[in-house]
């Protein structure tokens, strides 16, 4: 089962890439949170197995790492220059909606 983990994630360097990465990460965090909620509701029931607990721990760890990475990227946005061309600005507006 995949938790949205990618084998290699290049470090975004420009404003648009940072916005896109943060957006993608937030979507993965949201999906993982829904999976965590489902798994937690199974704890203490007949579905509670060591495999479930292991998967829950893995997804919690991965989601926590993803949240830390996203937080770092959001802070980086403050020091990255805004896009200068109208086409770059339009692509940023798409991510913000």
Domains of the chain, by residue range, sit at: 15-96
Whole-number mean pLDDT of the chain? 84
Q: Compute CA distances 31 → 3, 6, 15, whole Å.
A: 8, 15, 24
Tens-digit pLDDT string for the chain (97 aa): 455 554 445 566 788 899 999 999 999 999 999 999 999 999 999 999 999 999 999 999 999 999 999 999 999 988 877 777 665 555 555 555 5
Contacts 24+ apart (CB under 8 A), 3-6: 3/28, 3/32, 3/35, 3/58, 3/59, 3/62, 3/63, 4/28, 4/31, 4/32, 4/62, 4/66, 5/62
Architecture of domain 15-96: Up-down Bundle (1.20)
């Amino acid at each position: 089962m995949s938790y949205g983990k990618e084998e290699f994630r290049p470090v975004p360097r420009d404003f648009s890439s940072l916005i896109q990465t943060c957006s993608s990460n937030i979507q993965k965090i949201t999906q993982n949170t829904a999976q965590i909620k489902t798994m937690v509701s199974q704890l203490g029931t007949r579905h509670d197995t060591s495999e479930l607990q292991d998967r829950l721990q893995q997804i919690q760890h991965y989601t926590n790492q993803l949240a830390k990475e996203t937080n770092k990227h959001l802070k980086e946005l403050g020091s990255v220059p805004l896009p200068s061309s109208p086409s770059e600005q339009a692509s940023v507006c798409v991510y913000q909606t």
